[in-house]
Chain A
Amino acid sequence: MDKQEKRKRLAKKIQLNLAMTVGEIFDPIDEDTTRPKKMAYFDRIFKTFTQGGEGAVNRKKTQKLIGTYCLFVPEEIIYAAGGQPVRLCAGAYESVEVGEEFLPDSACPMVKSEVGFTTLPVLSFYQQCDLVAIPASCDWKAKMAEIIHDYVPVVMLDMPKVKEGEASRAFWLSEVKRFTKEVEKVTGMRVTRSRLRGAIQMIQKAQVQFRRFHEIRKAEPPVIHGRDALEVLNAYFYDHVESWTAAMATLNDELEERVNNRESVAKPMATRLLITGSPMVFPNWKIPTVIEELGGVMVADEFCTSNRYLHDKVAVDEGLLSDMLHAIADRYLLPSCCPIFSTTIDRRDRLLQLIKDYRAEGVIYHILKGCHPYDVETRIIEKLLQDNGVPMLKIETDYSPQDVEQLRTRIEAFMETLKGQRHKEKS
């Protein structure tokens, strides 16, 4: 059997496994009658994974597809140049073993999964990208371009690590401008003042719904599960921003109605948890699922794939092209609380604010094995939370489903202590 044939078979096998995983996730979800009806739109996107992701990405055939990683690649620019962005950060256990051929064991499962999907045709949109933009965020990402450049055209964006400096900002702005030129070359369309203004507005409209959604999540009792919140933002990876915004508007309408009717997705007095750390991407929903099965609610998260994804906003000031590019560069760099940067100042304040706003009782700190940046910050965050009297559970795991039962025990115990604390506070 030749190599080609072998890989094809492997791809087929992985596709089947992925389809099973997707099925296992959605079977119980589909039976859940308390779930908001309008989630169906978002479910559809993930259910197409079973057909190799065909149809997951919402774009016109003529539109160029620009793959992105992390949250540093300015989508405004891609839209303004007539392209369709697709965020390729991956969460599938199934493709990890493929990635392992190219990476050391110590690499995080996310980068393994991504390299797996890029090098083996399992999800079609990974191969269809006309350009893949990789920011040199963590060390794994910095090396990724070289590993996958035989499979897809790649552009690297160099990232400054000390974002406070004047030179770092100027440098990042020049990277954003270079990226603009690269995208223009691929799409054959220039980023003009009015197109960029339009693209910024399009995303700002999405942010209107994003903000509304997060206001609703503050409601007590909670009207939506944290896993579903991860899902809607995860859907943004693949959807066109306008379709996503429209779907969010209807979901928000439904949720607001639920708030008015006090329709809860959890039992009264359910434990309110906040989750932070390494990002979780579909289908790696094992922790949120466990929390939910145990009767808790993930009221908020601090993931770059979810709550942080659309939070920061581009502020158009004078509206000149240079002014907007500057604003875009700043938006992706300065407020980011990604742990690749030298200080944790912004992340610390953001966490405390989230805990306060969403009245979280405890925090789960999620580390993917091999995700050094989040690992490094654990101590600092642990101390911060301790000083503020917020209990924290650190969970280090990967994409494999093997440790689910062990996780369940630990999370259950953690929730018990939180309940105990609640009683103590009352008496």
Chain B
Amino acid sequence: MKVYRLRIAVQAISFIILIYGGLFYIDMGNRMPTFSCAYVDDRGGGCFLIGFQHMLSRPFGEFLGDAGIRLLKAMGIFALWSIVLNKAWCGWICPFGFLQDMLSKIRSFFDVDLSRFGWITRTRYKSVKYIFLVLLILIPLGIANSFFGLEKIPRDWSVPFCQICPARVILPVFNGDFSQIHIDFSSNTTMVLTTIVMVLVALFFTTAFVKRRFFCSYCPMLALLSLFDKIGLLSLKKNGQRCTRCGNCSRACPMEIREIEEEKVLTNLVTQDCTLCLRCVEVCPEDKALETRFCGIPIFTASQQGFLKRQGLDEESHTNKNGA
């Protein structure tokens, strides 16, 4: 089976498990490094970010006791999940990533060109996800503590990222739950935040339609996951000498990562924004230039022959025994 087909299949199955798994009593815990949103009633596992933000909104003193242990345990489980599959959570499992891929499919079906970032924009954009990450840590802390003698942040800022997370509005819809589509007028803060989320939802559909994985480029989960880039059991390796810098990989990369093409020296190519979708390995035409490994064992390696096959030439192998 071709890798991109396998990936769609895995994504679809993951989508079903994560969105409807509850109906079959599946529960994979609430510490998953993926947007398996906690607002989805029948979910089969929950997004780490909501619990993380809750656990952070405590007075500093409490972190020395039970609350601290609970936080460490949660982070430990999160780390374990992340180390085993690395960024494949994003490329292969995340329901929100899957939705974006489907929107891209629809776009290409309608023959609409994709748009790309300029190189400078692309680099600048990388920092946006860290801004979200820092805010989703600091705001909860600021709710329970006062920084530098300033006033504490009001309660209605709790779980701030979830309040503006477009997944909260979109994913429950697949459960038949439309209740998140509204603007909350209970306070000025909630009104502003829920308005922001509605704007982000609208942006999500429009941007994901014209640009591959637009949301992922500023997703704070990706920022957290990339802490484990270099120690994940699943890895993406490059052999610079075999690479011709043909650019096929970076052109096909949904995250528009240029390092994958440019790098000639470093061997570990799980970069900050990589989602380990492995599209780059599929379109690399050089023997062993790129390789995916699990625990150091090669599981998917680029090759000339494999490349030509994946380009749709496998049916034409009559005259040659070991050619196509």
Contact = CB atoms under 8 A, between A and B. Distances in A.
Nearest to B116: A326
23 contacts: A169-B247, A193-B111, A201-B311, A205-B316, A207-B308, A209-B323, A212-B323, A249-B319, A256-B321, A312-B246, A313-B248, A313-B304, A315-B246, A315-B251, A315-B283, A315-B307, A316-B311, A320-B108, A334-B247, A337-B244, A349-B264, A352-B241, A353-B241
Interface string B84-117: 0000000000000000000000001001011000
A313 B249 CA distance: 12
A331 interface: yes
B241 A327 contact: no
Given A209-B320, A211-B305, A249-B319, A201 B312 contact: yes
Nearest to B283: A315
Contacts of A315: 246, 248, 251-252, 283, 285, 307, 311
Contacts of B319: 246, 249-250, 253
A201 B315 CA distance: 12
Interface residues of A, number: 41
A204 interface: yes
Interface in B109-127: 111, 113-114, 118-119
A327 B320 contact: no
A249 B307 contact: no
A212 B304 CA distance: 10
A95 interface: no
Given A208-B313, A315-B252, A335-B246, A249 B320 contact: yes
Contacts of B311: 201, 204, 313, 315-316
B242 interface: yes
Of A331, A335, A346, most B-chain CB atoms within 10 Å: A335
B214 to A, nearest CB: 16
Contacts of A253: 319-321
Contacts of B68: none
B251 A327 contact: yes
A18 B312 CA distance: 43
Nearest to B242: A353
A204 B244 contact: no
A166 interface: yes
Contact of A317 (B113, B252, B321): B252
A166 B116 CA distance: 12
Interface in B259-284: 261-262, 264, 279, 283
B55 interface: no
A350 interface: yes
Given A207-B308, A319-B108, A320-B108, A249 B248 contact: no
A405 B241 CA distance: 38
Given A249-B323, A317-B252, A322-B113, A211 B313 contact: no
Given A315-B311, A334-B246, 18 more contacts: A201-B311, A252-B323, A256-B321, A312-B244, A312-B285, A313-B246, A315-B246, A315-B283, A317-B252, A319-B108, A320-B113, A323-B113, A334-B245, A337-B244, A345-B264, A349-B241, A349-B243, A349-B264
B108 A318 contact: yes
A330 B251 CA distance: 9
Given A327-B251, A345-B264, A212 B320 contact: yes
Nearest to A318: B108
Contacts of B246: 312-313, 315, 330-331, 334-335
A349 B108 contact: no
Contacts of A256: 321-322
Of A166, A315, A323, A346, most B-chain CB atoms within 10 Å: A315
Contacts of B264: 345, 349
B324 interface: yes
Nearest to A349: B241
Interface string A192-208: 01000000010011011
A169 B279 CA distance: 22
Contacts of B111: 193, 320
B22 interface: no
A176 to B, nearest CB: 14
Nearest to A350: B244
B247 A208 contact: no
B240 interface: yes
Interface string B280-322: 0001010000000000000000001101100111001001111
B255 to A, nearest CB: 14
A317 B104 CA distance: 12
Nearest to A166: B119
Interface in A345-383: 345-346, 349-350, 352-353
